[in-house]
């Protein structure tokens, strides 16, 4: 990867990276690209799950179509509803079920003292679906990503958080929402068996992206 970046062939992403200034020398582009490449496999799973949500929730699908129709020409649309649908798919079915962290200070817990430097596993799959604390534990709620309330909820870490936040977040959200907009622009999508759920029922706690099948029909002009 470093050799590709050093070569910086004209017209390539490497050339654009080479023109980016980093006066502090704190950014390692080869490490950033490694994260981007890593993001594509879970990014595909997130996109498929988001399509399943949009296909089975007519209200969200309608809102997404209206924002697509209202998007100004001449540039990539923002697509906030579709981006929120992608974020909801990562909340409902996180691609990273456990986050590894290390405590930075001594902490007093009910069960005793936790020393600084202790390794911790944060169960995102549990925090995102804790039905004792979350009214939306098993249902779709795109509005929390649109009104900012999700950003204030420390339990929601769809792309990790803090110093370990995923650098591919915006890239994945942009690509996933653009793919969804392209599929929905002229087509109706229907979720097919073996997976099946609807807008009125509780969403499953697990959703295998490799088992998802869709029927696509061209929308009437």
pLDDT tier, 220 (very low <50, low <70, confident <90, very high otherwise): low
What digits encode the pLDDT tens for the residues 120-166? 999 999 999 999 999 999 999 999 999 999 999 989 999 888 877 88
Query: Which one has a higher pLDDT value, 105 or 29?
Result: 105
**Phi, psi torsion values for 45, nearest 5 degrees:** -60, -45
Stretch among 53-57, 142-146, 186-190 having the lowest mean pLDDT: 186-190
CB distance 68 to 184 below 8 Å:
yes
Calculate mean pLDDT across residues 87-113: 92
pLDDT tier, 109 (very low <50, low <70, confident <90, very high otherwise): confident
37-94+136-218 — its CATH code? Answer: 1.10.630.10
Any idea where the domains of the chain sit in the sequence?
A: 37-94+136-218
- Say whether pLDDT at 40 is over 70: yes
Calculate mean pLDDT across residues 169-179: 91
Cα–Cα distance between 96 and 116 in angstroms, integer?
24
Q: What is the pLDDT of residue 21?
A: 66
Enter the DSSP assignment of 135: T
Cα–Cα distance between 31 and 100 in angstroms, integer?
19
Residues 6+ apart with CB under 8 A from 56: 191, 197, 198, 199
Residues 6+ apart with CB under 8 A from 42: 95, 96
Q: What's this model's pTM, rounded to 2 decimal places?
A: 0.84
Containing H/E element for 88? helix 80-92
Q: How many CB atoms lie within 10 A of CB 14?
A: 18
Q: What is the pLDDT of residue 31?
A: 76
pLDDT tier, 197 (very low <50, low <70, confident <90, very high otherwise): confident
């Amino acid at each position: 990867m470093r050799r590709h970046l050093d070569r910086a062939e004209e017209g390539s992403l490497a050339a654009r990276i080479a023109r980016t200034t980093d006066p502090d020398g704190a950014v390692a582009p080869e490490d950033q690209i490694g994260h981007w490449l890593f993001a594509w496999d879970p990014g595909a799973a997130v996109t498929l799950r988001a399509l399943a949500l949009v296909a089975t929730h007519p209200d969200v699908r309608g809102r997404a179509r209206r924002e697509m129709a209202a998007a100004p020409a001449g540039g990539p649309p923002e697509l906030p509803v579709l981006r929120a649908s992608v974020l909801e798919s990562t909340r409902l079915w996180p691609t990273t079920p456990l986050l590894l962290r290390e405590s930075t200070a001594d902490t007093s817990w009910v069960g005793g003292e936790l020393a600084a430097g202790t390794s911790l596993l944060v169960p995102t799959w549990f925090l995102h679906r804790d039905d004792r604390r979350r009214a939306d534990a098993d249902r779709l709620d795109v509005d929390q990503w649109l009104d900012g309330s999700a950003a204030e909820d420390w339990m929601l870490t769809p792309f990790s958080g803090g110093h370990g936040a995923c650098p591919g977040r915006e890239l994945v959200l942009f690509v996933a929402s653009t793919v969804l907009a392209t599929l929905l622009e002229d087509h109706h999508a229907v979720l097919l068996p073996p997976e099946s759920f609807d807008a009125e029922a509780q969403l499953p706690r697990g959703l295998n992206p490799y088992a998802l099948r869709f029927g696509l029909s061209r929308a009437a002009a």
